[in-house]
């Protein structure tokens, strides 16, 4: 057999490997005692040589979140348990001997020595019971800068974080080349500066504690930007199914909401949307949902006097009383506020209106009652425009909207600005009656919720729904770009605390301080929100949170995009397709 082809292959492999090294290697390299120069970039390598007695879980996250370029390597070298136990027995014997000698001499007890003895015995027990294993652990960090001054500043920041946790580090003086190789993705521990450590503290050092921020079921919300793991959740399996989404215009709020709608519908969840700007119209029409316009000239009407049917165990009188309270809140919103005397009159008038009719009354019936009541002249006059005036078509008609679709979009874009909070209130009331009448898995999305939050009665009603939603298998998603208006409402933070899932997308500088204080964000997380791209931000589930990137497939993106240029391209493509189809004989 001729061995020459094999030798030629080996030579080719060596040549290819050499060429690859030439491509990857920097054009210039300088090795100094305290740094490396790679072309125009400087690098400095550190190693950790001492740890405290106890390390908190995720203690290393501050280093990971430092807004600097770092290369970090962990080297975990297993130690045979038998050898570790043998060495521990020797160490225990030494400590016992020293304690005995101090006791014989009558010296004052040494708490540190006694604690060390207890820790050694505890570790021996865990090793013998196979609850722990023993390792040699090396932690190396390479920092980068454009000058020695940059390196010194980054070193100061890094060491201050570690020193505050009683974790001590040193620069690898005269070993910068070995240290740099140790932090390259080559899995070679050239520095070999290790500390004996058992499983628990090593596990506490592992930086990606966010990897468990997921569940075994639910929909994909996005990708964990720290470790590229999937963020999967079933919102209905959490403490409550409510969500809040905050972010500036163009930050990706509606994109994420629409993606959740698409994926939730695939799992059989009904979705109802309150849509102030027709953001969801294309999505709704594309997948065959119901798009319902609510405006002064619309043919669609919702009667706020409607009552939900009583369910098993519910008292009809309680349902009526609750609806009267909601109607009084609506009228406060319509009238711009009521005095205590007017509030009492309205409460009595609404009650009499229901009593005066065998069928569901309307605003006209309420006005008739007010006309007959002493002291109600001003209220009757203020109600006139909603009964026979310019607003009559909006409020003074029986309900003629019927929801039979799994996706329903209520559009209020064409509603006058001053009436938008009223329209949102009435739509919410209609949806709440629907939710109470039939138990189904539903999501209610309230976009630009700050319109409703500007008034205490609207905010109170939304909070009431969010608080009671879980009982009716409902998840409320509250979306807003005006974070200050939302959180400054007395009901803003209660709605937030009653939401198990929270999204923060790109924030404006005027809102970031409020957001940072409300969510207890670090400075690194604050800057992340200021500099995030579209669809990037923070995702909260309970007390845990991670950096998220919302990712859609090509088909999903074509359905949910809000980019006007992209929508125009889609529209032009549809017209060209229709034109081509028309030419086919």
491 located within any domain: yes
pLDDT tens profile 395-439: 888 898 888 899 999 999 988 888 888 999 999 999 998 888 888
Residue 561 pLDDT exceeds 50: yes
Q: Phi and psi (nearest 5°) for 450?
A: -65, -25
The C-alpha atoms of residue 449 and residue 22 are separated, in whole angstroms, by 58
The C-alpha atoms of residue 126 and residue 85 are separated, in whole angstroms, by 10
Quick one: average pLDDT of 521-534? 85
Confidence of residue 239 (pLDDT cuts 50, 70, 90): confident
Confidence of residue 213 (pLDDT cuts 50, 70, 90): low
Please identify, among 354, 374, 394, the residue that sits at the C-terminal boundary of a domain: 394
Quick one: average pLDDT of 257-286? 92
The shares of helix, strand and coil residues in the chain, as percent rounded to the nearest 5, are: 50, 20, 35
Report the number of distinct structural domains present in the chain. Answer: 3
Residue 211's pLDDT is: 46
Residue 8's pLDDT is: 66
Residue 575 pLDDT exceeds 80: no
- Higher model confidence: residue 70 or residue 122? 70
Residues 334 and 265 grouped into a single domain:
no
Confidence of residue 210 (pLDDT cuts 50, 70, 90): very low
Residues 164 and 246 grouped into a single domain:
no
Residues 167 and 234 grouped into a single domain:
no
CA 191 to chain centre: 40
The C-alpha atoms of residue 553 and residue 534 are separated, in whole angstroms, by 15
The C-alpha atoms of residue 480 and residue 424 are separated, in whole angstroms, by 14
300 located within any domain: no
- Higher model confidence: residue 390 or residue 70? 70
Residues 366 and 501 grouped into a single domain:
no
- Cβ neighbors of 469 (< 8 A, separation 6 or more) are 240, 241, 242, 435, 444, 475, 476
Q: Which residue's entry shows tokens 């120069």?
A: 37
For residue 361, the surrounding DSSP H or E stretch is none
3-class secondary-structure state, position 542: coil
For residue 320, the surrounding DSSP H or E stretch is helix 316-335
Please identify, among 337, 359, 394, the residue that sits at the C-terminal boundary of a domain: 394
Q: What is the DSSP string of 200-240?
A: HHHHHH-S-GGGG---SSSEEEEEETTT--EEEE-GGGSS-
258 located within any domain: yes
- Higher model confidence: residue 91 or residue 136? 136
Residues 69 and 121 grouped into a single domain:
yes
286 located within any domain: yes
Residue 352's pLDDT is: 93
Task: Calculate the alpha carbon distances from 120 to 98, 114, 166, 254 in Å.
Answer: 14, 10, 20, 56
3-class secondary-structure state, position 171: strand
Give this prediction's pTM.
0.64
Residue 134's pLDDT is: 81
Q: Which residue's entry shows tokens 């992340």?
A: 528
Q: Phi and psi (nearest 5°) for 92?
A: -60, -40
* Structural domain that includes position 323: 316-394
Please identify, among 156, 181, 205, the residue that sits at the C-terminal boundary of a domain: 205
Residue 3 pLDDT exceeds 70: no
Which of 215-229, 237-251, 344-358 has the least mean pLDDT? 215-229
Residues 355 and 482 grouped into a single domain:
no
Residue 17 pLDDT exceeds 60: yes
Residue 549 CB neighbours (<10 A)? 18
Residues 379 and 353 grouped into a single domain:
yes
The C-alpha atoms of residue 39 and residue 26 are separated, in whole angstroms, by 6
CA 465 to chain centre: 21
Residues 148 and 60 grouped into a single domain:
yes
Task: Calculate the alpha carbon distances from 98 to 101, 123, 124, 324 in Å.
Answer: 5, 19, 19, 81
DSSP state of 108: P
**Burial (CB count <10 Å: 0-12, 13-18, 19+), residue 315:** exposed
Residues 102 and 238 grouped into a single domain:
no
Residue 53's pLDDT is: 75
pLDDT tens profile 332-388: 988 888 888 999 999 999 999 999 888 899 999 999 999 988 888 999 998 988 888
1 located within any domain: no
pLDDT tens profile 81-110: 777 777 777 777 877 787 778 777 777 777
* CATH assignment of the domain containing 538: 3.40.50.300
The C-alpha atoms of residue 176 and residue 47 are separated, in whole angstroms, by 11
For residue 424, the surrounding DSSP H or E stretch is helix 420-437
**Burial (CB count <10 Å: 0-12, 13-18, 19+), residue 54:** exposed
Q: Is the dihedral of CA 9, 11, 16, 17 positive or negative?
A: positive
Residues 382 and 413 grouped into a single domain:
no
Quick one: average pLDDT of 455-483? 89
44 located within any domain: yes
Residues 547 and 432 grouped into a single domain:
yes
The average confidence (pLDDT) of the chain is 85
The C-alpha atoms of residue 18 and residue 6 are separated, in whole angstroms, by 18
Residues 343 and 255 grouped into a single domain:
no
Residue 566 pLDDT exceeds 90: no
563 located within any domain: no
DSSP state of 191: S
399 located within any domain: no
pLDDT tens profile 44-54: 999 999 888 77
3-class secondary-structure state, position 378: helix
The C-alpha atoms of residue 356 and residue 387 are separated, in whole angstroms, by 18
pLDDT tens profile 276-290: 988 899 899 999 999
């Amino acid at each position: 057999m001729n061995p020459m082809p094999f030798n030629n292959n080996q030579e080719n492999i060596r040549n290819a490997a050499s060429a690859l090294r030439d491509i990857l290697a920097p054009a210039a390299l300088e090795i100094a005692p305290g740094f490396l120069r790679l072309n125009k970039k400087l690098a400095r390598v550190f190693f950790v040589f001492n740890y405290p007695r106890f390390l908190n879980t995720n203690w290393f996250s501050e280093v990971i979140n430092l807004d600097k370029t770092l290369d970090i390597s962990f080297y975990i070298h297993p130690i045979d348990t038998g050898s570790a136990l043998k060495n521990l027995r020797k160490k225990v014997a030494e400590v016992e001997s020293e304690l005995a000698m101090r006791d014989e001499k009558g010296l004052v007890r040494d708490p540190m020595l006694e604690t060390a003895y207890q820790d050694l015995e505890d570790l021996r027990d865990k090793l013998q019971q196979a609850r722990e294993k023993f390792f040699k652990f090396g932690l190396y960090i390479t920092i980068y800068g454009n000058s020695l001054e940059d390196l010194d500043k980054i070193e100061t920041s890094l060491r201050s974080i570690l020193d505050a946790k009683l974790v001590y580090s040193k620069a690898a003086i005269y070993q910068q080349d070995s240290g740099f190789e140790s932090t390259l993705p080559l899995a070679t521990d050239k520095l070999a500066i290790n500390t004996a450590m058992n499983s628990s503290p090593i596990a506490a050092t592992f930086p990606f504690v966010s990897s468990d921020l997921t569940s075994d079921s639910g929909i994909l919300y996005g990708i964990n930007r720290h470790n590229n793991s999937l963020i999967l959740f079933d919102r209905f399996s959490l403490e409550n199914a409510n969500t809040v989404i905050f972010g500036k215009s163009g930050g990706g709020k509606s994109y994420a909401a629409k993606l959740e709608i698409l994926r939730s519908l695939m799992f059989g969840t009904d979705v109802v949307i309150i849509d102030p700007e027709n953001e969801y119209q294309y999505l709704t029409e594309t997948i065959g949902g119901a798009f319902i316009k609510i405006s002064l000239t619309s043919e669609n009407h919702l009667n706020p006097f409607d009552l939900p049917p009583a369910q098993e165990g519910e008292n009809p009188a309680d349902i009526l009383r609750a609806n009267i309270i909601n109607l009084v809140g609506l009228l406060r919103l319509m009238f711009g506020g009521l005095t205590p005397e007017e509030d009492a009159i309205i409460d009595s008038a609404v009650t009499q209106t229901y009593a005066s009719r065998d069928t569901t009354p309307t605003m006209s019936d309420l006005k008739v009652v007010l006309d007959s009541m002493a002291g109600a002249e001003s209220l009757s006059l203020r109600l006139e425009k909603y009964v026979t005036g310019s607003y009559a078509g909006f409020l003074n008609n029986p309900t003629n909207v019927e929801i039979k679709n799994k996706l329903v979009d209520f559009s209020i874009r064409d509603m006058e600005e001053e009436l938008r909070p009223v329209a949102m209130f009435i739509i919410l009331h209609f949806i709440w009656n629907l939710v109470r009448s039939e138990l189904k898995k539903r999501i209610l999305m309230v976009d630009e919720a700050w319109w409703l939050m500007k008034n205490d009665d609207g905010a109170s009603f939304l909070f009431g729904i969010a608080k009671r939603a879980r009982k009716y298998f409902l998840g409320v998603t509250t979306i807003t770009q005006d974070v200050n208006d939302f959180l400054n409402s007395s009901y803003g933070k209660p709605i937030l605390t009653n939401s198990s899932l929270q999204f923060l997308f790109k924030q404006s500088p005027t809102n970031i301080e409020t957001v940072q204080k409300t969510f207890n964000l670090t400075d690194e997380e604050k800057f992340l929100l200021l500099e995030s791209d579209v669809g990037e931000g923070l995702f909260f589930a309970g007390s845990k949170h991670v950096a998220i990137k919302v990712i859609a497939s090509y088909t999903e993106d074509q359905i949910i995009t809000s980019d006007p240029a992209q929508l125009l391209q889609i529209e032009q493509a549809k017209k060209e397709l229709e034109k081509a189809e028309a030419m086919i004989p």
